[in-house]
Amino acid sequence: MRPQLIIALDVDSLAQAQKIVAELGNAIEIFKVGSQLFTAAGSESIKNLQAQHKKVFLDLKFHDIPNTVASAVKAVVHLQVFMYTLHTVGGKEMMKAAAEAATQASRDLGVPRPLGVGVTVLTSEARKENLRDLVLERASLAKEAGLDGVVASVEEAGFIRREFGKDFVIVTPGIRPAGTEVGDQKRVATPAEAVRQGSNFLVVGRPVLQASNPQEAVEKILAEFG
């Protein structure tokens, strides 16, 4: 799987999101809709991207009792997004319920099953002594539960790739091109390092959204992919 760049539409309105997508043209295929945009614009934010033939990474980090999360994931399948997130701290039973709900709903509707990825530890969290072991433990639970992969920083990506093989999806947030500010992220990496460590999807937000020329910023990031 060739690494792909996902642009995070962490903006306050659908109009702002549309502006970014228009500025980037055909350079980006996948866009992230997170809690900020989804709260502001709801499912219209997803439908608008799909109308422009873009794929949607729905990053709402579901975390609740298994039945509630399973119901939410069924709704995700109806929206026909490409990939969605849930928190691994919700436990194996919750993740398994989500994976099974996604499979069954996609069969019932006759649509592709979205990739389900579990958030291990947020990249805004500071380093801890046992962080690597914690991430690997949560990644193992996600795999056992039937999820397609995990969200993890580049610091853990290499270990996850070696432990779980080439087919386990790794989504890496906290990507900062060389020379850009870290912001509130604690565990960041350049695009080149993330690719070297085996990440499949690299998520970038502010370095593109706050750039004077977003398209040029994307081109520079893609050039770092090697």
Catalytic residues: 61
Q: Which residues contact 212 (CB under 8 A, 6 or more apart)?
A: none
* Burial per residue of 27-46, b for 16 or more beta-carbon CB atoms within 10 angstroms, e otherwise: ebebbbbbebbbebbeeebb
Tokens of 202: 């690299």
Residue ranges of the alpha helices (H) in 59-213?
66-79, 92-109, 131-145, 154-164, 191-196, 206-209
Chain centroid to CA 186: how far?
Answer: 18
Tokens of 158: 């290499």
Q: How far is the C-alpha of 77 from the C-alpha of 75, rounded, in Å?
A: 5
Q: Which of 118, 117, 116 is nearest to 106 (CA)?
A: 116
